[in-house]
Structure 1
Amino acid sequence: MITIVGVGKIDIQWQKTGGTPLKSEPAAVKKDFTAELKALKSTVADIAKNTTAQRNRLDRSLILNRRWTWSQFKTYYAEHGLMSFLTRQLIWIAEKDGQSVDMVYQNGTWTDQQGAEIDGLDTNTTIRLWHPVGQSVENVLAWRDFFTSKEIRQPLKQAFREVYLLTEAELKTRMYSNRMAAHILKQHQFNTLAKGRGWRYSLLGAYDKGYESEKAVIDLPAYDLKAEFWVSEVYADGAWNDTGIYLYVSTDQVRFTRPNNNDPLSLIDIPPLVFSEIMRDVDLFVGVASVGNDPNWRDEGLAQYRTYWESYSFGDLGELAKTRKQAVERLLPRLKIARVATVRDKFLVVRGKLRTYKIHLGSGNILMEPNDQYLCIVPDRSSDKATTNVFLPFEGDTMLSIILSKAFLLADDDKITDPSITWQIGKP
């Protein structure tokens, strides 16, 4: 039996004739059905790739505000063998005769938030994905409580999706936003993230004109718009690799233009949903690729940017981190560390047996009370194992898993044996 258990995660369950589960495929299958077994595993791999690809496509469709007829929605989304795994965990808006209603899949049918079945879904109904922009605060919070209380893990961040509204500073600058400026990013990681979100970007190298800025660009043909995120190289001794590519870039303005005109447009004229999604992308680039997330940067990074590391690592929370904080506040009462952990300002504070730890909800970096001594813990690739059985209301936030993993580890600091940690926390 093949079961989709998560985005990119497929479970194969082998059973005996009577239904008794097996730990792995039977030896007879390996011996007598080699080709068929290979084809099965290839199919499973394809399903894993497609769930990820389709999840990403749905996520990107939020900015397009696409609509489908009820018939199209049923055929290609709600009742499709693969897509239904994704669509039935999302919020949709059904519109008909000028009226609209939020709906979600519960108990074998489409219902409103309270579980009442949606009537009148027919050829005159159009369906679109729900987005928090334009929704009331009460509605957003109610949906967050819905998914948390029912422990439904959304395949993409929707109910907990960040919303970016124009700030007073952006109303003053008018033609550009400096909200994400003055950050130091690891360029190769930024490049991967940008291209994964549909942006165009070329790596800056020492062979480029050093006095010119570069930019990542995304086309938005549905709105006749183009968004630009300006960056420039960080020039310092040794700050490039063997091929001459700069290791770091510094961030600058976000602008919007027309596809065939480079003149910046007034931010107030950009549709709120478009502005929010573009700023969310840029916040993601900063939130993931910033050197402030690197626990080793304090000792090994470029000396002239040490101040930036300090300010980012333990500074004010951005919108991504604020949403993460709200998620942690909802999850914490359900976790076994609830009695020794609390959310305080921009930190998840954990009282261990030996020390009390403040885990920054943006960078994941740690300070120890009472003197705010820095604690360096480098997460390994299996850092999410500690949170495998912890319900998270959405997929895709690796930092959330890292923060919770560190919290679980430090709650039992008297059991830590890793010498790279024990000497820092003063364990005998």
Structure 2
Amino acid sequence: MYLLTDAERATGTYSNRFAAHFLRQHQFHSLAGVRGWRNKLRLSVDDEAPPAVRELPQWGLRAEYWIEGDGGEHYQDITESGSFLRLRTDQVRFYPIDAPENSAHCCGGEYRMWLRDGQDPVEALPLDSIPPLVLSEVLRDVDLFVGVASVGNDPTWQDGGPDGRFQEYWTSYGFGELGQSAQTRRILLDRLIPRLAIADRCTLEGRFLHVKGNRHTYKIHLGSGNILRTPNDQYLCIVPKSNAAAQQAGYLPYEGDRMLAVILSKAMMLAADTKITDPTILSQL
């Protein structure tokens, strides 16, 4: 359950809980469609687009996730067809379902409400007026978008991606404070670990699952799944297998939380680190 935070009570009509992230646009677009959101791909053109929208007719509400295209300083991060490779995220808001539509320039800028003749602007609804179940489900969707599509959860981006411009974001996302979904994941792991065959090699400490291997001790971040190893918290890059490959290898899939399965699969592998044969991983050990 995603509950209203003190910060959201303070902002009143919008949530910044999932703002200031960088998402892979096409992955986000696909996920949004699966979850019932209406979204328009951001193109590097002189045009406007609405936010990502989920309509909730049974509640008479419309949820909005404000986003904008991010093409880099010189608009180099776009495809040949002109679509942005990545998005920058902003607020989550709620409006009456029949409120006039908001839009902003595809390349970024302030959202504003388009009004037809005779229409008056409609303010975003106070978050504390949104039914808790509706608020929780919408924030759960947005948490999924960030958790899956963020460039921060790509273990190969330790260098910060193109021109290193995502370095600060990647480090903060990959090893920083836990979001609500990661905190829930921590609670689940606390219950699951005693049942695992590797339970005696695992401990939960703060933001990390610590795993004792034979070569090193490892710290797996509960938000991103990124790994640090002894000595000196050296970064260890392990790219997760696809879901199909993971299931064939005997890893446990968890519906709705792919990262939990990723963390468990990494823990199982690292607890038996003398049995690792992958040359890419071995070269880092």
TM-score range, shorter chain: 0.7 to 0.9
2:82 aligned with 1:219: no
2:255 aligned with 1:400: no
Alignment partner for residue 336 of structure 1, among 197, 203, 214? 197
SS at match of 1:342: strand
Residues 172/380 of structure 1: CA separation in 2 closer, same or farther (3 Å cut): same
* CA positional deviation for 1:413: 1.0
Gaps of 5+ in 1: 1-162
* CA positional deviation for 1:370: 3.2
Contact 1:384/1:402, CA 8 A, preserved across alignment:
no
Contact 1:386/1:405, CA 8 A, preserved across alignment:
no
Q: Percent identity?
A: 53
Alignment partner for residue 9 of structure 2, among 171, 175, 178? 171
2:114 counterpart residue number: none
| Aligned residues between the structures | 258
Q: Which amino acid aligns with 1:260?
A: D
Question: In structure 2, what is the Cα distance between the partners aligned to 1:238 and 1:191?
Answer: 20
1:17-416 pair list within 5 angstroms:
163-209=1-47, 214-236=50-72, 237-262=75-100, 263=122, 264-299=124-159, 301-302=161-162, 303-381=164-242, 382-388=245-251, 395-416=255-276
* CA positional deviation for 1:341: 1.0
TM-score normalised according to structure 1 size:
0.58
Q: Which of structures 1 and 2 has the larger relative contact order (alpha carbons within 8 angstroms, sep 6+)?
A: 2
SS at match of 1:297: coil
SS at match of 1:201: coil
1:4 counterpart residue number: none
User: In the TM superposition, what whole-angstrom CA distance separates every residue of 1:144-165 from its partner, at most 9, and x where no partner exists?
Assistant: xxxxxxxxxxxxxxxxxxx111
Bigger share in helix: 1
2:104 counterpart residue number: none
2:110 counterpart residue number: none
Q: Which amino acid aligns with 1:404?
A: L
Alignment partner for residue 418 of structure 1, among 251, 271, 278? 278
Residues 385/328 of structure 1: CA separation in 2 closer, same or farther (3 Å cut): farther
Q: Which amino acid aligns with 1:235?
A: G
* CA positional deviation for 1:214: 4.5
Q: Which amino acid aligns with 2:65?
A: F
SS at match of 1:231: strand
Contact 2:8/2:16, CA 8 A, preserved across alignment:
yes
SS at match of 2:158: helix
* CA positional deviation for 1:208: 4.2
Question: In structure 2, what is the Cα distance between the partners aligned to 1:166 and 1:387?
Answer: 38
SS at match of 1:239: coil
* CA positional deviation for 1:288: 1.0
* CA positional deviation for 1:401: 1.3
Contact 1:368/1:375, CA 8 A, preserved across alignment:
yes
Q: Which amino acid aligns with 2:258?
A: T
2:106 counterpart residue number: none
Contact 1:214/1:232, CA 8 A, preserved across alignment:
no
Question: In structure 2, what is the Cα distance between the partners aligned to 1:387 and 1:372?
Answer: 29
Question: In structure 1, what is the Cα distance between the partners aligned to 2:212 and 2:46?
Answer: 50
Question: In structure 2, what is the Cα distance between the partners aligned to 1:289 and 1:352?
Answer: 30
SS at match of 2:14: coil
Contact 2:160/2:170, CA 8 A, preserved across alignment:
no
TM-score normalised according to structure 2 size:
0.86
Question: In structure 1, what is the Cα distance between the partners aligned to 2:249 and 2:186?
Answer: 19
Question: In structure 2, what is the Cα distance between the partners aligned to 1:291 and 1:424?
Answer: 22
CA RMSD, Structure 1 to Structure 2 (Å)? 1.6
* CA positional deviation for 1:215: 1.1
* CA positional deviation for 1:417: 1.8
Question: In structure 1, what is the Cα distance between the partners aligned to 2:20 and 2:51?
Answer: 14
**Runs of 4 or more above 3 Å deviation:** 384-388
